Each structure stands twice: as structure tokens, then as C-alpha cells.
Amino acid sequence: MTTFRSLCSTLALCALLLAPRALPAQATENLRAVEAVQRALPRAPRLPRTAFLENRTLAAAQLSPTGDAVAYLREQKDSRALWLLPANGGKARALVGSIQAEQLMWSRDGSWLFLRASRVLSIVGIDGRTGVRVPLGGTERRRVIKLDPSQPAAVLLGERVRVGAGERWRIVRMDARGKRTLLREDSHWIHDVALDAQGRIVALARFEGDHDALYRVRTDGALHEVLRLRPMDRLDLLGTQADGSLLMAGNSGGNFRRVMRLDANDRLQTLHEDPRGEADLDEVVIDPRTQQPLAASYRSTVAATYGIGDAQAVVANITRKFPGRDISLQAGSGPSARWLVSERSATLRDPRWYLYDPSNGSLRRILDDPGIVANSPPESNLARKLAIAYTASDGQRVRGFLLLPPGVDAAHAPLVAQVHGGPINHFRAGYDGTAQFLANRGYVVFQSNFRGSTGHGRDYTFASNGDYGNGRVQQDIVEGVRWLLAQGIGDADRVGIVGHSFGGYSTLLGLTFQPELFKVGVAGSPPADLGWSMRWLLQVGDQGDLPDRSLKHTLAALSLDATEPATYARLHAQSPLVSAAKMRRPLLIIAGGADRTVAIRAVVNYAATLKAAKRPMTLLVEPNGGHSPVDPVPREAYLFAMETMLQQHLGGPVPEPPGQRLRAYLRQNLRMTGPEFAKYGATPR
């Protein structure tokens, strides 16, 4: 049971976390006040590693269009089962006992469910009928675009058609019985469409070779360009209105991603934008019948959800029931239809689900049986996540998060900088299993959303000016660590750096060029030469020059296109590989043998270079693993190896011994074994 003291501490912390945007001096005071609150809490007990492997028992949940049922995918051994829960309180029933699906969508009439896996789309009726199965991907590059809002039960598919040596792109409607209707064929890759009530395409967004553009589609099929998008602009078509206006989400014509309306005269209006002026739109809720936007969520700093238009009162009533929490919403159609509410938090490994009845304001928890919620770590054992901002040496305001372990004196605790991948990505306000695992072991965790990160507006992303080597982006991370140390957060003699993909690259940079600061590093799937890796990615890798807002042009906009000789030379010259002789700090590298994002041969080459120079390092490779570990044992091995490395060099608690399966995995897959792992490798190599 929560004590009165810890309850008061939690309430005080929430007040600080939800305080209005602070000036730098106020932010520093808030940081110190939060640290004092966390330090006064009881020390959290050490939890098993497996508690931090995110629970996938409930893979997806979706509210029906009328709000009278919730469909969900539940894990069972090697597959998933599809279940249907009546919203009136009845008993859930299984619709499909075994299916390989990751996402689900309801048909507009609520009679069918479209279940999407990586390679197949399956259609199932709520009465147990079986619809068609449609392969995805393949030579046709077939993909699901969205549910068709104009039809009772249909989806919109995008497909490639080979024409001689060239190709064309089709938009196809397919109903639940498999009937196909060609809606449009185009010489350009169409990534989104909007339909009118009669099912005609009235607008489309397509890639034009070096930019995206939004077009209105006239009745004769001719196109009228209304918006030409800038590099890194994103645009999603949400719906159409009877007056000819288009509802959209994007950052066209502005800095932040927001909810927008393009009226019949092609004037762009903002319907909702982050009131704090800090974060891009993360999620928008649409009425399934009217296609009107009902709510908007922002999660790049303090998570917040707001109602739009007539839904403001309902959304405000829901958010009041979850103070200090991150909520995700789904709405049924009509003023009396139920809403599905997902409660999330940095201290909740698994979301909690509720049904909200707007007719009486009642809230009822669902999907909470022991088989779903078992083994979730108690919130009191996890670290609160504080949104922070600091000023870099050139005056740029840099965003990030800080996790402070409960009951730990942060001034004397080891500090770990965790760097996100991408770099076209960002940390959010929600749960992070790796960060919480480290915090549970007593490490203070710093997550920098360095300039160049997404989530904080287009200007923030482009503020990197392409300086992703040992330059401005890396300085943001380094200066964030030094700023925290100056505030009394972290022991300057016990600082480490960890990250995956681009975060692994940053880890190598930190150990190579800032060894006086970072004493140890853990790098997952790191590109040791970003220039070579970006060139490989475009020419050979899994994310090569695709038609969907071409990666090549995205990288070019960010000055990262390594097929350009000057860019390649710049990135190569600043790479950890070229400066491998400077590496002195102990390093652990974890990689996948079948990685199609970062070539394993480049990782092994860097490791061999360090070994030849007799540098301290360990290499752990999952033989058939991809860019990130997926299966339970490799995921646990990632955490165990990271914990072992940090404990040896930063003085954290001794890891719990590996079980038999984990020990066997380490023995088989430690390719190069440093002294920290000598007892787990087959032989030191």
C-alpha cells in the first residue's frame, strides 16, 4: 500500500512535472526540487531483468465504430488470438484462435476486422466468417494505405505495376470479400489519398522525385497542385468535408506538426497546435463517421492530450481523471458512444485500458485479467521521467528527459547518457524499458533529444546543419551531461554512454573523442563510419532509395547523403573507425548477423580494428538477428551484457547470474570477449 509520505511526494512531483514552461533558472530550480523529492522516496527493490522486457500479451486493441465492442490481439505462445469484448460488460469471446497479425482496423459498418501482419492482410467477420487473405509486400510492394471511410467494409491498397522497364502505381479498393476496384493509376508513388462520400478520390499526396506535393483531383481525373512540401515535411490526409475542405495532420507551411484544414479555396488553417509551443503532434483522434478531428496528443516533452471543437468537454473530463498521465483515445461515433482510453506513463510498462461513457462520465477498467497484466513492475519501483531543457554553448535550447531512481542521492550516483537511434527520431515521455532497467539498478539516465531530433518542430531538426560527426550534434549530448553534473546530478567519475544504431555511433564518438568524460560505452548495431554506412544503406540496405519520400532526398536535406563525395569525405574523416587508435575506454558492441540497416561486416571490421590495436572491447552477435533483438533470450542478453559492462566500470550492483539458456547464448555468440565476459565466453578470443 502507498504510504502517506510517498503519496505526498508523488503529488509534489506531479505538480513540478506539469508546471508551465519554465525559464532556464526556474527549470534548474525545478530539477533540484524533483531530485530532492525522488531522493526522499524509499529505495526501490531490484527487479529481475525480465520485468523490463515490455509485455506483449496485448498486442493491439481497437474500439468499434459505434463504440459497442473492443477487438484485441492477445499473445499465445508463437501466435496471437483475436478476441472481441462487448462494451456493455459481457464476456469476451475468441474470434480466431491463431493468427499472425500486428495491427487491426474495424470496417466502417463494424461487421469486419482487417488484420495486418508484415506480409499478409487477413479479413475476419465478427460473426466468425472468414474473409480473404491478401499478400503484402512482394514484387508489387502492396501495402495497406488506410480504411476506406466511404464504404461499409473496404480498405485502400497501394500497389506497384511493372510496365516494360518502368513502373506505375495503383490505388485499389478491396472489400471484405476480395472484390477489387481500381481507383487510380499514376506514374508517381502515391502515399495518401482522401475520398468523398461517394468513394471518389478527391485529393492525393505523392512523391515527385525530389519533393512531396498535395493535389486536388478533379472529376475528370486531372490534378491541381495545392501544396508543394519542403524536405522533411510530413502530411497525412485525415478526411474530407462536404464543403470541399480537407482535414490534415502535418507541418506544411509551419514549424510544428499540427492538425490543419485546407478550405475549398485552398487556404491553410491551423485547427490545433501544441499550446506549449514545444512539441509536434503525435496522435490525432478522428470521429469514425464524420471524420472530424476530436482530440490531439503531444508527447515530445510533457505528454498532454486536448479536445478539439465539440469534443473539448468530453476530452477534458477524461483527462481530469488521469492527472499527470499520458492518455491515448479512441472514439465511437455519436455523442453517446463510448470512448476507449489507454492510460500510459513512464512508470507503466503496460498500458491500462478503460471504457468511458460520456452519457454519465463513468469510467470502467477492462482487459485487466491476470493473464494480461501479470508481472508488470509496480510503479513505485520505477523512476519518474522529467522533461528537461538546457542551453548549449552556441545558445540553442536543447530538449531531453532525465530519469531519477527513487531513494538514490543523484549527486553520488553513476550517470548514463542514453542516445536515441535515427537520428531522425526522438525520445518520448512514455515508458522506456532500457532506461527503467538502468534506473532500477541505481543509474541516473539522461536522454538527450539533441538538435537534429524530430518531435520538436522542423526548425529543430534542421538546426543540426548536417553536423552529425564529432561536431555540433555530439556536443549537444556532451554539454547536456556536463550541465547535469554542474547541477549536482551524477558522479563525474562514473559516467557512461549507451545507445543503439545512431545511438551506438554516438557511443563510439563519445568514447573516442570525449574519453575524459565517458568511462565506458555500450553500442548496439553501431555504424562506425557513418559515411560508409549511409552509402551502403542507400545502395544495398533494406531502407534503400524507396519511392516513399525517398530516403536519399531526406538524407540530402539533412546533409547526410553519403553518395555525394564531399558529404562522404566529411563523415568518413570524423568517424570512430578512422580514429580507432584514439579509443582507450572499455566498449561492448552488440549486433545482429542479418542486420539490413547497419551492415554486420562493417561492425565486425571495426571490432577487428580495435582488437588488432589491443583495445578493450567485447563483441556479442546474434547470428540471425536483425537490427534490434526481438526474441526473449537475445533481448535479455542485451540487458545482461549492458548491466555487466556498466557494473564493472561504474560500480553499479552486481548483476543477477544468467540462467542456463542465457549462459548458453552468451557462450555461443560472444565473438570477441573482453575481461568483463571472460567467464561466459567459450574461450577468450
Contact yes or no for 145/171 (Cβ under 8 A) = yes
Q: Mean pLDDT throughout 381-403? A: 95
> What pLDDT, on a 0 to 100 scale, did the predictor assign at position 17?
45
Among 370-384, 423-437, 523-537, which stretch is predicted with the lowest mean pLDDT?
Answer: 370-384
Please give the mean pLDDT across all residues of the chain: 91
Higher pLDDT residue, 130 or 242?
242
> What pLDDT, on a 0 to 100 scale, did the predictor assign at position 12?
41
Whole-angstrom Cα distance, residue 183 to residue 393? 54
Contact yes or no for 183/197 (Cβ under 8 A) = no
Q: Mean pLDDT throughout 268-290? A: 96
- Residue 313 phi/psi, 5-degree rounding, is -65, -45
Contact yes or no for 200/193 (Cβ under 8 A) = no
Q: Which residues contact 293 (CB under 8 A, 6 or more apart)?
A: 238, 247, 259, 271, 272, 284, 285, 286, 287, 308, 309
Burial of 215 (0-12, 13-18, 19+ CB in 10 A): buried
Q: Mean pLDDT throughout 636-653? A: 96
DSSP summary character for residue 669: H
Whole-angstrom Cα distance, residue 245 to residue 439? 49
Whole-angstrom Cα distance, residue 29 to residue 9? 17
Q: Which triple of cell numbers denotes residue 675?
A: 575481461
> What pLDDT, on a 0 to 100 scale, did the predictor assign at position 548?
56
> How confident is residue 75, by pLDDT bands cut at 50, 70 and 90?
confident
Contact yes or no for 161/170 (Cβ under 8 A) = yes
Is pLDDT of 439 > 70? yes
Is pLDDT of 234 > 90? no
Q: Which triple of cell numbers denotes residue 433?
A: 524499458
> How confident is residue 176, by pLDDT bands cut at 50, 70 and 90?
very high
Contact yes or no for 339/314 (Cβ under 8 A) = yes
* Residue entry with cell 478533379: 218
Q: Which triple of cell numbers denotes residue 330?
A: 479512441
CATH homologous superfamily for the domain 384-677: Alpha/Beta hydrolase fold, catalytic domain (3.40.50.1820)
CA angle in degrees (0–180, nearest 5) for 437-490-23: 100
> What pLDDT, on a 0 to 100 scale, did the predictor assign at position 16?
44
Half-sphere exposure of 518 (CA within 13 A, CB side): 31
> What pLDDT, on a 0 to 100 scale, did the predictor assign at position 537?
86
Q: Which helix (H) or strand (E) holds 602?
A: helix 600-612
Whole-angstrom Cα distance, residue 682 to residue 66? 59
Alpha helices in 41-157 (DSSP H): none
Q: What is the dihedral of CA 27, 28, 32, 37, to 10 degrees?
A: 0
Q: What percent of the chain has pLDDT over 90?
A: 77
> Strand 397-404 vs strand 326-331: parallel, antiparallel, or unpaired?
unpaired
- For the stretch 455-498, pLDDT in tens is 999 999 999 998 998 899 999 999 999 999 999 999 999 999 99
> What pLDDT, on a 0 to 100 scale, did the predictor assign at position 25?
65
Q: Mean pLDDT throughout 4-33? A: 54
- For the stretch 658-683, pLDDT in tens is 999 999 999 999 999 999 999 997 64
> What pLDDT, on a 0 to 100 scale, did the predictor assign at position 15?
41
Q: Which residues contact 192 (CB under 8 A, 6 or more apart)?
A: 145, 146, 204, 205, 235, 236, 237
> How confident is residue 2, by pLDDT bands cut at 50, 70 and 90?
very low
312: alpha, beta or left? (left if phi > 0; alpha if psi -120 to 50): alpha
Alpha helices in 489-595 (DSSP H): 502-513, 530-539, 551-557, 565-573
Whole-angstrom Cα distance, residue 637 to residue 650? 19
Higher pLDDT residue, 321 or 424?
321
> What pLDDT, on a 0 to 100 scale, did the predictor assign at position 507?
98
The full set of domain ranges for the chain reads: 384-677
Whole-angstrom Cα distance, residue 118 to residue 136? 7
Q: Which residues pair with 76 in a beta bridge?
A: 79
Q: Of 86-90, 294-298, 333-337, 678-682, where does the model show the most confidence?
A: 294-298
Q: Where are the beta strands (DSSP E) in 117-267?
A: 120-125, 130-135, 143-147, 154-163, 166-175, 180-186, 189-195, 201-207, 212-217, 223-228, 235-240, 246-250, 258-262
- For the stretch 87-103, pLDDT in tens is 998 899 999 988 889 99
Whole-angstrom Cα distance, residue 462 to residue 181? 41
DSSP summary character for residue 459: H
Among 72-81, 184-193, 323-332, 654-663, which stretch is predicted with the lowest mean pLDDT?
Answer: 72-81
Task: Provide the residue count of the chain.
Answer: 685
> What pLDDT, on a 0 to 100 scale, did the predictor assign at position 546?
58
Higher pLDDT residue, 354 or 289?
354
Q: What is the dihedral of CA 366, 131, 170, 245, to 10 degrees?
A: -40
Whole-angstrom Cα distance, residue 45 to residue 233? 45
> What pLDDT, on a 0 to 100 scale, did the predictor assign at position 23?
55
DSSP summary character for residue 264: T
> Strand 587-592 vs strand 520-524: parallel, antiparallel, or unpaired?
parallel
Whole-angstrom Cα distance, residue 343 to residue 366? 12
Whole-angstrom Cα distance, residue 341 to residue 70? 11
The model's pTM is 0.92
Q: Which triple of cell numbers denotes residue 9?
A: 511526494
> What pLDDT, on a 0 to 100 scale, did the predictor assign at position 4?
35
> How confident is residue 369, by pLDDT bands cut at 50, 70 and 90?
confident
Q: Which helix (H) or strand (E) holds 79?
A: strand 79-86
Q: What percent of the chain has pLDDT over 70?
A: 94
CA angle in degrees (0–180, nearest 5) for 478-480-485: 100
* Residue entry with cell 516513399: 548
- Residue 648 phi/psi, 5-degree rounding, is -65, -30
- Residue 548 phi/psi, 5-degree rounding, is -85, 90
Burial of 565 (0-12, 13-18, 19+ CB in 10 A): exposed
Q: Mean pLDDT throughout 273-285? A: 97
